[in-house]
A and B are shown apart, each in its own frame.
Chain A
Amino acid sequence: MIEVKDLSFEYPTARALDHVSFTVGEGVIAALVGPNGAGKTTLLRNIAALERPYSGTAIVDGVDVREHPRAVHKKLGFLQDFFGLYDDLTVTQCLTYAAMANGLRGKAVERAVEKTLDRIDLREHQTKLSKQLSRGMRQRLAIGQAIAHEPKVLLLDEPASGLDPDARRDLSGLLRELQSQGITQIVSSHILAELEDYSTEMIIMENGRIKSQRGVEEGSGATVYTIELATPNDGLTKWLEKQSGITLHQSDSKRAMVSLDGDASARAKLLKDLVGAGFEVVGVSETKRSLADAYFEEVSRGDRS
């Protein structure tokens, strides 16, 4: 659905995106993560055809953002980090304007408004001015404006920032629902725990480049084991790297996180081997690996190399 090919973008004094390439399939929710200044927002703006790449391109549903930016706009909805609403228009007027602005006319506008009101769960508030809505409801209305024309792709830049826990939960539900309706999404966020709720892929950016792209099920939610030592031992990492059937995710002199090929007996063998090798093992505990663990592992892998 989205194919970014060797895309570079430059500001007058610096290159913000450096030969970025990746693909996002249909119906996927891709989490775009990375430190501040990594180029996430610039990348989203290039995919949304709001900026013109210096070189390379992005293809959205078969349409090239460099060649046909306006055609790409029709296929996309984009909610920016700091979005705005027309404060003196009612919820219905905001959605009517969004539908008309995206090319719908006549009865199609009414249908789009009705459907969107249900999708974003604001029917009870449809006659309120947008400035009278809570932060979470404004966020939903902004998403409603972005999806009123039923785009195939939705880009969201930090959609959960400033939301309370209830509003975040609602947002997660809304994004999952949109995914079930076939909308491909790229969500940039710093809140990794929240991304874990709905993302199916993770794209990590650093210094304007793609550091890695992986399925979230590869990175998080999998069972991993945390090895804990009573006294620090600098040889732990090296020893674990030499063992077969073990995937090392993270380690320092006192703690390590690994995946094991095999069942409980593999775990028992690991414990026995550790003790045999002279490590003072306190425990080998089972845990679920989070998206944050996967992200930091990826980032620290780059730092080590």
Chain B
Amino acid sequence: MMQASYFAGAGMVRFGKYGPETGLEQLGAAAARAAMHDAGARRSDIEAVYVGHVFGGPVAGQRMAVELGLDGLPISNHENYCASGATALREAWMAIRAGAHDVILVVGVEKMTDRIKGGVTPDPSDLDAMQGYVMAAGHALSAQRYMADHGATREQIAMVAVKNHRHSMHNPYAQYQHAISLEEVLSARAIADPLGKLDCSPISDGAAAVVLCSATGLQRLRLNRDGRPHIRAIGLASGRARTGLYDLNEEDISRRAAVQAYEAAGIGPGDIDLVEMHDCFTIAEIVRLEGIGLIPRGEGGQWTQAGHTSVGGKLPVNPSGGLLSRGHPVGATGVAQVCELYWQLTGQAGARQVDDARAGLAYCKGGTVAGTDGGSVTTVILAR
């Protein structure tokens, strides 16, 4: 019998830009302390630390753990580009399911603003990168085809940014806590046509953490199991080599990761009450929601315009503000998403609370590999 994995606590630091006095180690440690405090976990309760980051350099997790007084434990660092934090969570989930640990600290952390300029790219050795591919380019090509194939408008795509900024006005951990207008998105500086600056998630610093427990671990922390959010399933897929003249927005990698999670959780798309979606770019929110079967193919633009994906709509997406407005410290994002789901499922989300949220899905997509439909996709289903 596999062990269930419960969320005992969650914590974040506000995403944004931090100066040289605040390193990755301090960001990660602050989020970890907040999560441990929320869970009522002492240092001696933690059995292992799983850390997701991309640009943190060698053994960043161990550098952070020393700050926390968690030195000496089993610590591992997990890299799957923008899905790194969610991948660390998945590895921790598997360790608990296997009975290897009862209380695990999972941290996603990134310090980007001092090392990334002009947007993130694939590895320089990647054939697409050699041609000048940047992440914004891939999504610009996706947006152009989406409009051509489905009759969606530029305005509908831009409305994703307007909606997510409106949501994060109520998120104290968000990098941006102000609304933006459609006109501002449309007239922002061009990045990769048709996408402008406000269609792109920012380069951010930040960290998020959760304490993950088996039933035994919960008892040790004297926490109640009833109604507590637990992981129903986590899917992980990698890109497949594509051949022929494929549909650019087919999102087969997303479909495969979602099917994994739905099947393992024993639920379907119709059971999902809210989504934390990897909106690294506006268009990405739309095509990925379609890819995981939550919105009919080609209708994502109309759904956004109609308010169906707003808090209060029939499928609230990114109540946290998403990557566009909460910010996107790449290794931290996957853990920040599940922090938001945890707060939503436990009714702690304040003015951005989704009514009667019982099951949520968090999706990350990390990296690109030339000739494939992506690097890595994770799909976390959390339910109470």
Q: Do A and B come from one complex?
A: no
